[in-house]
Amino acid sequence: MRRKLLQSVLGLSLLVAASDGNAQNIRLIGPRLFVNSPASLEGIKTFTYSSNAAPTWGRALDSSWFNVEVVKAVDSLACGPLTNNVTDKWVLIYRGTCQFGEKALNAQNKGAKGVIIVNNVTGSPVGMAAGTAGASVNIPVLMVSDVDGNAMNAALNGGQQVFISLTRWGFGNNNDLAIIPNSEAPGPGSIPLSQWKTGSPDAYKFYTGAFIANTGLNDQTNVKLKSTLTFTPTGGSPSVIANDSVEVASFNAIDSAIELLGTKATSVNPTQTGKYTMTYNVSADNVDDNPLDNTASISLDVTNNIFCKAPLDANGDPILTGSVKAGASGVPLTWGPLFYVNKGGYQAQSFKLSINDNDTTKHSLNSTVGNLDIYLFKWADGNTDGIIQATELTIKGAASRVFTTADSNNQMFTANIGNPDGTAGTVVLEDNSWYWAAVDMPETIFLGCNDDINYFNRTNAARNATTPVKDFWAPNFFGTVDAMLSSGSNVRMIPFGVTEAGSGSIDSADFVGTRNTTPVIALITGLFDVGVKETQSTSYQVSLYPNPATDNINVTIDLAALSHRADIKIIDALGRNVYTERRKDIQNGKITISTKQLTPGNYYLVFFGDNGTVFKPFTIAGK
């Protein structure tokens, strides 16, 4: 079976709004999938669909399907003729074993009106290639995440009926407001705890903003967008941090879509790792006939040592939903996220990212890409215009990933940061500085992205605040890094929207063009300030060897006094504890720790004694 993630090719030509206002608004909101029942599964769901793949296949989402029944395929993979009655039903099918088009055609041949494929991989749904049978499919084909699909499957297994609705605009209700998916202004991204402090900088503030659609038949009055910010500490319970709202007196049905932006900027000051969640709700005087799309939420993490604009999974990896390439053949791209460093002194250790070479055969990236260069630029906005000019950029570090036979499409890989010339070195981040993590992308490469979050309305809301701020998330330049630096050109601040580089105006047409433009690139820093001494005093010595290590490390301890309790821990580069040992009544000696179970990479040995703490960085070499 041949599989690939959704690919979006964003051209160099401008995105022009449709002359028909309703057609433009349909593009603005995009198709939406709801689970109507059972009540435990109610709500709008993230999905991908075959008629938005490249090339397209299956029926376009050109109509509305309201409260239609979903049944399971027997067998669940639908790689052969279905043996149960699915006539005029939508069919739930699991991904795996055979081609997407083959599954859909088998359901169609049995009388199905539509197909929902459940992803068999943890994370968001992905794009679906047609395969050899896709051209014969004329019913809609959707994919949902493993979580949403498994929940539907469990309900069906438990004897419950599942009903869904699907629309490209509305369902003909009298009163029906909707938050346009992914238009909510998110927080500043996932940021290390060390960077937050009282009176957080503008780059770390929270704003309120979203696009609202009137998909009903009636005009609405006193339309209110409310945001609620909560914080959930690691291992704790959520608490409300702040509320905000913005209201408009009237919203005509003929207007169809509006943007609501607040003026408040909320500062936060976390004291421990955890998760911030911004929940949005839209309401009006009239009771909404379809409240399932009136609420949306976005989360970000307070991390140990990770900067990232995309959401993170439980392992600290950015969550991938697709990949994006810009420009026609022969046009390279320089692209990546902007990060604000509030507190310097930490080493920029590595990047985590994903790419796709658009080759659906099973192969390794070393055969098609070879290597990829990622640069860490410091941006000093010399004329304070909020626009990157090539002359304002300084290369502080670089990482070159030389792909091996173990590297493949859509895999998350790590590239260690060294000196700008590619040699090993220590790159230390500076206080109050912007850094641009920019990939020098050949014209054939797709960069891994997340479509569940879009910073477009954060940029708008920051500009609309009582004290306006210019806040951008992922600038790009159509050309190589060398071409950018030699030209002295401006860098495009709104990725792939209609605005020219340097323009300050952005509108709803831009939002359509900026979907799927949050790169899943993480900047991993050291856990400790490089200025912190490794030992507290000359009479309190802990050392380790060999470094780099392979199968074992030896820890030698030489303390000035007996330590009644000593904890020895190994922490990986993401701050996760991977080894703990406790000793009692220790003063001198050697401890040998097996590292066979540890993957190659950067680690810290931390020694906690009665009279202080010592940490030692070390590396596990390739095995």
The encoded tokens of residue 304 equal 């140990």
pLDDT tens sequence across 211-251? 999 999 999 999 999 999 999 999 999 999 999 999 999 99
Are residues 230 and 213 located together in one domain of the fold? yes
Q: Range with the lowest mean pLDDT among 122-136, 392-406, 458-472, 572-586?
A: 572-586
pLDDT tens sequence across 42-77? 999 989 999 887 789 999 998 899 999 999 999 999
Are residues 346 and 476 located together in one domain of the fold? yes
The answer to whether residue 534 sits within a structural domain is no
The answer to whether residue 24 sits within a structural domain is no
Are residues 430 and 385 located together in one domain of the fold? yes
User: Largest alpha-carbon pair distance within the chain?
Assistant: 81
- CATH (domain of 565): 2.60.40.3080
The answer to whether residue 40 sits within a structural domain is yes
Strands 114-118, 141-144: pairing is parallel
d(CA 293, CA 57): 27
Are residues 338 and 298 located together in one domain of the fold? no
CA 235 to chain centre: 23
The answer to whether residue 567 sits within a structural domain is yes
CA 269 to chain centre: 23
Among 432, 373, 495, 42, smallest CA distance to 199 is for 432
pLDDT given for residue 532 in this prediction = 55
DSSP code at position 203: G
pLDDT tens sequence across 586-611? 888 899 999 998 888 888 887 877 66
Are residues 586 and 548 located together in one domain of the fold? yes
- Find the helix or strand (DSSP H, E) in which 395 lies: strand 393-402
Given a contact cutoff of 8 angstroms between Cβ atoms, the answer to whether 565 and 556 are in contact is: no
Residue for token pair 């401006």: 490
Are residues 370 and 297 located together in one domain of the fold? no
Q: Helix H segments across 67-145?
A: 100-109
Given a contact cutoff of 8 angstroms between Cβ atoms, the answer to whether 105 and 128 are in contact is: no
Query: How many domains, the chain?
Result: 4
d(CA 620, CA 623): 9
Given a contact cutoff of 8 angstroms between Cβ atoms, the answer to whether 246 and 260 are in contact is: yes
Are residues 323 and 433 located together in one domain of the fold? yes
The single-letter code of the amino acid at 406 is A
Among 113, 28, 9, smallest CA distance to 64 is for 113
Q: Is the pLDDT of residue 12 over 60?
A: no
Paired strand residues for 566: 583
pLDDT tens sequence across 522-532? 999 988 887 65
The encoded tokens of residue 401 equal 């990933």
Q: Helix H segments across 18-94?
A: 21-29
pLDDT given for residue 331 in this prediction = 82
The answer to whether residue 11 sits within a structural domain is no
| N- to C-terminal Cα separation, the chain | 32
DSSP code at position 40: G
Which is more confidently placed, 214 or 500?
Answer: 214
d(CA 374, CA 440): 6
> Which of 269, 303, 337 marks a domain boundary?
303
Angle at alpha carbon of residue 146, lines to 142 and 152, rounded to 5°? 75
**Residue-averaged pLDDT of the chain:** 86
Given a contact cutoff of 8 angstroms between Cβ atoms, the answer to whether 451 and 321 are in contact is: yes
Q: Mapped to the 3 state alphabet, what secondary structure does 474-485 carry? A: CCEECCCHHHHH
The most confident of 19-23, 96-100, 324-328, 359-363, by mean pLDDT: 96-100
Among 570, 579, 559, 556, smallest CA distance to 602 is for 570
Average of per-residue pLDDT across 454-462: 93
Domain that holds residue 410: 311-525
Average of per-residue pLDDT across 95-111: 95
* Residue 54, CB-side half-sphere exposure with 13 Å CA sphere: 14
Are residues 503 and 579 located together in one domain of the fold? no
Give the count of beta carbons closer than 10 Å to the beta carbon of residue 84: 12
pLDDT tens sequence across 281-310? 999 999 999 999 999 999 999 999 999 999
- How many angstroms separate the Cα of 116 from the Cα of each of 66, 149, 326? 15, 8, 29
Average of per-residue pLDDT across 441-449: 89
Q: pTM of the prediction?
A: 0.82
pLDDT tens sequence across 531-559? 654 444 445 678 889 988 989 999 998 88
d(CA 242, CA 173): 33
- CATH (domain of 71): 3.50.30.30
CA 539 to chain centre: 47
The confidence band for 328, taking pLDDT boundaries of 50, 70 and 90, is low
Are residues 157 and 250 located together in one domain of the fold? no
Paired strand residues for 35: 43, 164
pLDDT given for residue 508 in this prediction = 60
Average of per-residue pLDDT across 487-515: 70
d(CA 154, CA 315): 26
Question: What does residue 257 show for φ and ψ, rounded to 5 degrees?
Answer: -145, 135
The answer to whether residue 360 sits within a structural domain is yes
> Which of 141, 167, 193 marks a domain boundary?
167
pLDDT given for residue 18 in this prediction = 28
d(CA 401, CA 467): 41
Residue 400 exposed, middle or buried by CB count within 10 Å (0-12, 13-18, 19+)? middle
Are residues 377 and 505 located together in one domain of the fold? yes
Average of per-residue pLDDT across 94-112: 96
Q: Is the pLDDT of residue 24 over 80?
A: no
Are residues 269 and 363 located together in one domain of the fold? no
The answer to whether residue 533 sits within a structural domain is no
The confidence band for 500, taking pLDDT boundaries of 50, 70 and 90, is very low
- CATH (domain of 290): 2.60.40.10
pLDDT tens sequence across 341-357? 999 999 999 999 999 88
pLDDT given for residue 519 in this prediction = 94
Residues 6+ apart with CB under 8 A from 600: 619, 620, 621, 622, 623
Reduce the DSSP state of residue 353 to 3 states and report it. Answer: strand
Given a contact cutoff of 8 angstroms between Cβ atoms, the answer to whether 477 and 334 are in contact is: yes
Average of per-residue pLDDT across 320-335: 79
> Which of 143, 167, 191 marks a domain boundary?
167
Paired strand residues for 16: none
- Find the helix or strand (DSSP H, E) in which 151 lies: helix 146-157
Are residues 337 and 257 located together in one domain of the fold? no
Question: What does residue 312 show for φ and ψ, rounded to 5 degrees?
Answer: -115, 150
The answer to whether residue 267 sits within a structural domain is yes
Q: Mapped to the 3 state alphabet, what secondary structure does 488-500 carry? A: CCECECCCCCCCC
